[in-house]
Amino acid sequence: MATIEECRTALDKLSDNMANAEGDARTAAALDRSLSCRITDLDITFVGRLKDGRIRVLDTLQGPPPEKAQIRLTMNGDDLVSMVNGELNFAKAWGSGRVKLEASLRDLFRLRTLL
């Protein structure tokens, strides 16, 4: 089971990957939205902001987030680490229900180029 530190490192790596993206992926990452990433097996939520192509984690909370972010990810820690390391395909994980992504329809269309 991935630790809180490993999950936070994975989010930082994802942020770096997004910041270095080019073309359509870079455009998709340029959203300015509140963001939460719920790690179910650790019962924690990273809350922050997607802005200027980077994920800025502002806090780590015990349990579910108190407020509904505009972009919400839910998964276990191992899946987060595996996805960021390229070992787990996001589309397959999302399709099978291992990973949940909730956002407005417009944001989902923009984010699909990243995922």
Determine the pLDDT at residue 111. Answer: 78
The pairing of beta strand 33-39 with beta strand 71-75: parallel
Q: pLDDT tens digits for the chain (115 residues)?
A: 999 999 999 999 999 988 887 777 677 677 899 999 999 999 999 999 999 889 999 999 999 998 999 999 999 999 999 999 999 998 899 999 999 999 999 998 887 766 6
Using alpha carbons, list the distances in angstroms from residue 32 to 8, 45, 79: 20, 19, 25
Determine the pLDDT at residue 43. Answer: 98
